[in-house]
Each structure stands twice: as C-alpha cells, then as structure tokens.
C-alpha cells in the first residue's frame, strides 16, 4: 500500500507558489501527494510534472463538482460544462504523470435538494461520467468515485451506492475511492464496506472521525486494515486532515484539532505506518 497526503493539509488552493509541498511530502518519506484540481487556471502541469520527477514522488489528483459544473443538473448546458471540466481534469492528471483522478465527481458537492434524487439524477451522472471515463481510458487514467456524507452529497453516501453508479457507467476504468471520515457517518461497518469495494478500490482517505490525528478517535482502524490485508490492497491511501488555518473554510474545521499541523501529520503518519506493519501492508 502506498501512503501519501492531501495538499490541503497545508494550502487552500494549488498554484506554482505551493510547488514546494512536493519536496515537503518527499521529505516526510511518503510515496505520493494528492493534488486538488479545483482551480485549473492556476494548475501548471509542466511545473508540477517536472517537480515530481525531480524529487521522484508520485501523485494523484482529486476535485469536487460545483453548481456550475453539476452533471446531474436539469440544465443541459450545465451538464456539458461539467463534462468539459472533468475531461480537463483527466487531461491534467495525465499531463503530470499521475494515474488516478477521483473525488465528488458525480454530482454537485453539497447540492441543496428538496427531495431525494430520482433516477434521472443517477442517469445524468452515469451518462456524463461515461464520456469522461472513455477519455480517461484512452489516457490510462483510473477514475475513483468517492462516497461522502449526507451533508456533502445527496447522491452517493456509501460504497454500495458508488458501486451502483460504477455499474451504470459500465467502463472498466471507473473505480472506488473510500474515506473513513465519511464512512464513520454513513457505513454500518468499516470492514464490510472496504471488503465490498474489493478489487475496485483504488484510493483511501485515512482520516479520524473528527479529522484530527489518526488513532486518537473512534475510527475502527483494525477493521479497516484487516479488510485491506484480506483484499491485498496495493493501491494509494492518503491522510486528509485539516488543522492549520487557511482561507478555505470549506473544510468546516472550526476548532484546533491538534497542537499543530506538523504534529498531526507526524503522529498520524507514524500511526498509519504502524498499522501497515501490523497487517503486512508496508
């Protein structure tokens, strides 16, 4: 299993001013950095690729859809804009030499809804993502559907729902991305959800239930690592914790979750490494 960290541990928006984070992650002895693609206009693929290559660090990318790129919208123009944006993200992922792109890419993040989503929302999402997936397949990129909690998505909250959408899309490059923070709210069992993802699992966010230091809260780490060992998981897993203040409060972290970001990362990485060793996933 490859261990990495999300760039949001330090920054609220990626740009060439944050390229030094690649060196910082390499210095922590991690395998990859997860880079957000929320602002493609400031994403210099050549600079990122060259810095990654210089320090020999892997990378994955992720994003979320907003209101003007919601592929489940009843407005065909918004749907088309969403497909165009996701396609651009896939191309950017390929251009930096990464091999997977994931996140809340199936519907608007935190979309307000007056009622439960209907079949039309699932169909629009599947039809749109099928177009993106075919491009991703041509470029050798895997796409991960990330279930998130009910306050951040009305469409996909569980691994089972993600697998349903994957089946509707019907493209082999579409996979599953799990996140322990969201699973803590929506899943009945960390172990069962991880096993359910099985061979389709390509990315895992390792977060404590409060997004503080992993190992200090309520997450069933033994259940998670037992399942990962049983499926012989060799994919990517990233810490996604937010402590240091940034100008992006969409992380919804309103109190200090650890004495410092550096301490959270140092102790969190050490804890995850100990679980990898315990369950033979180094």
| CA-atom Rg of the chain in angstroms | 18
Give the Cα separation of 52 and 40 in Å (integer).
Answer: 18
> Which residue in the list 152, 186, 208, 240 is annotated as catalytic?
240
Mark whether 146 is an active-site residue.
Answer: yes
Are 234 and 240 in contact, with CB atoms under 8 Å apart?
no
Instruction: Residue 127: count other Cβ atoms within 10 Å of its Cβ.
Output: 14
Nearest to 204 by CA among 188, 73, 214: 214
For the purposes of burial, counting CB atoms within 10 Å of the CB of 198, is it exposed (0-12), middle (13-18) or buried (19 or more)? middle
Please name the residue that has the structure tokens 């075919």: 134
Q: Which of 146, 186, 187, 208 is catalytic?
A: 146
Q: Which residue has the tokens 């301490």?
A: 263
Q: Does the annotation count 95 as an active-site position?
A: no
Is the Cβ–Cβ distance between 118 and 72 less than 8 Å? no
> Which positions are catalytic?
146, 240
């Amino acid at each position: 299993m490859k261990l990495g960290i999300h760039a949001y541990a330090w920054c609220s928006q990626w740009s060439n001013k944050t390229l030094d984070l690649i060196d910082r992650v390499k210095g922590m002895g991690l395998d990859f950095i997860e880079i957000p693609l929320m602002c493609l206009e400031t994403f210099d693929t050549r600079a990122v690729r060259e810095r990654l290559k210089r320090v020999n660090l892997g990378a994955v990318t992720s994003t979320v859809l907003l209101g003007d790129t919601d592929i489940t919208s009843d407005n065909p123009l918004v749907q088309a804009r969403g497909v165009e944006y996701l396609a651009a993200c896939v191309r950017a992922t390929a251009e930096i030499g990464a091999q997977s792109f994931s996140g809340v890419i199936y519907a608007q993040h935190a979309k307000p809804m007056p009622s439960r989503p209907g079949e039309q929302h699932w169909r629009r999402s599947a039809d749109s993502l099928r177009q993106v997936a075919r491009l991703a397949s041509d470029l050798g990129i895997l796409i991960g559907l990330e279930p998130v909690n009910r306050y951040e998505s009305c469409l996909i909250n569980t691994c089972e729902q993600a697998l349903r959408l994957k089946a509707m899309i019907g493209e082999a490059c579409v996979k599953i991305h799990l996140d322990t923070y969201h699973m803590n709210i929506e899943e009945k069992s960390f172990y069962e959800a991880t096993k359910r993802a099985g061979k389709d699992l390509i990315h895992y966010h390792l977060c404590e239930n409060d997004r503080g230091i992993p190992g200090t809260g309520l997450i069933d780490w033994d259940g998670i690592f037992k399942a990962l060992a049983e499926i012989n998981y060799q994919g990517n897993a990233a810490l996604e914790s937010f402590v240091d203040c940034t100008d992006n409060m969409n992380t919804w972290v309103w109190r200090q979750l650890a004495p410092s970001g550096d301490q959270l990362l140092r102790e969190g990485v050490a804890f995850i490494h100990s679980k990898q060793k315990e369950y033979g996933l180094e």
